[in-house]
Amino acid sequence: MRSTRLLWRSAWIAAVAATVLLLSGFVYAVRDLMNPSPSTAVPPPKATAPAADPVKQNKIQIVALGDSLTKGMGDVSGNGYVQDVKRLLAKDTGKSAYVISNLGVNGYRSDQLLADLNTKPFLTDLLKRANLILLTIGGNDLFNYAWQEFNLTTNINPEALLQRLPPNVKRLDSILTKLAKVNPDARIVYVGLYNPFIDTDKTGKSSDVIQRWNYEASLIADRYPNVTVVPTFDLFEKNPAKYLYTDHFHPNQEGYLRIAERIVQALK
């Protein structure tokens, strides 16, 4: 009889212990779900679809869009980075490369490009024909006011740049999202921003804003397997005068070539 009571007491204690353990685990799980710590928070899932690879196609078909960098302003040869990319890819791959259309517009901002993508069906048709889409945008959103007033004694206002960041990053998000959905089979290359005033801003704060922009662009690109951000900040960092046009804003011929080489390197 005594052994039976001991058996039941042991079973009861074990049941209580299991219940307490279960409740503790439940409370911990709820608390962790509601207030995840940095070490336990689960990042959003990333797309797992295979990335588009234009260099493996029979021919490389390019559509370029954006601002004056895509247009090639500042390159006396008239090539710009778009024609340099086409030439270098053809040389490296031995395949035919074509620029279907260069839609770069001098002075274009992200709001103008986004409006075009949403209202001009012919752009969608052109983009669907490409397996490589090249894009520059954002420089005018952040820097146009400074460039128009620029002289070698001008002090760049980093606070003004910072205030321009959130709405323009949001539009960049919409642009890359639109492109990724219009042509999920194309490789979309967004050319990151460099700081054309790096040698005139002695505080270095304007560079911090540009790096933040590039970081935000990378976060956006991470959501889409066919979007690549190509950094250019370092290409102009050490000796900007050597690679910038006389307007101290656009790349010169050598500067565009460096951008093109970086893009081709990213596509290999």
- The pLDDT tens digits for 117-143 are 999 999 999 999 999 999 999 999 988
Do 34 and 102 lie in a common domain? no
Residue 16 clears pLDDT 60, i.e. is over it: no
- The pLDDT tens digits for 147-183 are 554 444 456 677 777 888 999 999 999 999 999 999 9
Q: Quick one: pLDDT at residue 162?
A: 82
Q: Quick one: pLDDT at residue 5?
A: 41
Highest mean pLDDT of the ranges 14-28, 72-86, 131-145: 72-86
Q: Quick one: pLDDT at residue 248?
A: 85
Residue 47 resides in a domain: no
Residue 202 resides in a domain: yes
Quick one: tokens of 88? Answer: 């270098």
Q: Quick one: pLDDT at residue 148?
A: 52
Do 139 and 239 lie in a common domain? yes
Residue 28 resides in a domain: yes
C-alpha dist (Å) from residue 64 to 22, 130, 188, 227: 59, 9, 10, 14
- Number of structural domains (the chain) is 2
Do 181 and 227 lie in a common domain? yes
Crossing angle, helix 158-182 and helix 110-119, to 10 degrees?
20
Do 219 and 138 lie in a common domain? yes
Q: How many CB atoms lie within 10 A of CB 98?
A: 15
Do 105 and 187 lie in a common domain? yes
CATH number for the domain that contains residue 243? 3.40.50.1110
**61-70, 97-106, 170-179, 200-209: segment of lowest average pLDDT:** 200-209
Residue 208 resides in a domain: yes
Residue 48 resides in a domain: no
| Band of pLDDT at residue 43, cut at 50, 70 and 90 | very low
Quote the domain boundaries for residue 75: 54-267
Residue 49 resides in a domain: no
Residue 13 clears pLDDT 80, i.e. is over it: no
